[in-house]
Chains A and B, each alone.
Chain A
């Protein structure tokens, strides 16, 4: 089945530093990737939609200058949390779709970010 790899699984960083999270589709071409964050006991919150070769579309309230998304190829998208602060600590999850607009999402395993 379709596999999405997300790296790293967890990261601890100091306030003010930047953290990059990678999301790769291993066995299919993902023209669209999605980035979510999830707070404890809450549902997924879509941050942005990333299309290969174009700028990401950010959801309302998500700072595009803080959460930099790059989707340079059909198999890789990255999320960079710039100048991280403790309130950015969260569970970040990427997902990707295969062919067809109604294809199910395939999720990465998520990245737990802790900013100290």
Chain B
């Protein structure tokens, strides 16, 4: 079956760095997305990785290792507004999007 695993919840301190991991087992791979979702709102696109390596975009970076079926989202200089759920999603060989359950990130002052 197809499966995406990410931690249910993480806590970090304002100003610090946090890494949210995502591992996947899917039938084929055509890209991995990270989305941010604040409570009661729709998800917003953060990043897209299709090749191995690190993609940096401001305070957020996303890493992919296709051979390991692994990705992480790195958030630097954490702000209170970063408190949200972070969803990992993988596009399989049929370009179907498989969603992880999301990681709730709690930022403490």
A residues near B (Cβ < 8 Å) are 6, 34, 42-44, 46, 91, 93, 95, 101-102, 104-110, 112
In the complex with contacts A107-B44, A109-B41, A101-B95 CB distance below 8 A = yes
Cα(A2)–Cα(B50), bound, Å:
21
Q: How far is the CB of A103 from chain B (nearest CB, A)?
A: 9
Cα(A44)–Cα(B89), bound, Å:
10
In the complex with contacts A43-B87, A43-B99, A44-B99, A102-B42 CB distance below 8 A = no
Check A107 against B48 for contact (C-beta < 8 Å). no
A-B pair number, CB within 8 angstroms:
46
Check B95 against A102 for contact (C-beta < 8 Å). yes
In the complex with contacts A43-B87, A44-B87, A102-B95, A108-B42 CB distance below 8 A = yes
Cα(A42)–Cα(B97), bound, Å:
17
Check B41 against A104 for contact (C-beta < 8 Å). no
Interface size class of B (residues with CB under 8 A): 20 to 34
Q: How far is the CB of B71 from chain A (nearest CB, A)?
A: 15
Cα(A110)–Cα(B95), bound, Å:
23
Instruction: List 22 A-B pairs, Cβ < 8 Å.
Output: A6-B42, A34-B97, A42-B101, A43-B87, A44-B87, A46-B97, A93-B42, A93-B43, A95-B42, A102-B30, A102-B31, A104-B33, A104-B45, A105-B35, A105-B43, A105-B97, A107-B45, A108-B42, A109-B41, A109-B42, A110-B41, A110-B42
By a CB distance below 8 angstroms, the chain B residues around A101 are 30, 91, 95
Cα(A107)–Cα(B31), bound, Å:
18
Q: How far is the CB of A73 from chain B (nearest CB, A)?
A: 22
By a CB distance below 8 angstroms, the chain B residues around A43 are 87, 99-102
Cα(A43)–Cα(B5), bound, Å:
12
Check A105 against B102 for contact (C-beta < 8 Å). no
Q: How far is the CB of A42 from chain B (nearest CB, A)?
A: 7
Q: Which residues of B, 75-107, contact A by the 8 Å Cβ criterion?
A: 87, 91, 95, 97, 99-102
Check A102 against B45 for contact (C-beta < 8 Å). no
User: Which of A6, A93, A112 has the most chain B CB within a 10 Å cutoff?
Assistant: A93
Contact with B42, one of A42, A46, A104, A107 (Cβ below 8 angstroms): A107
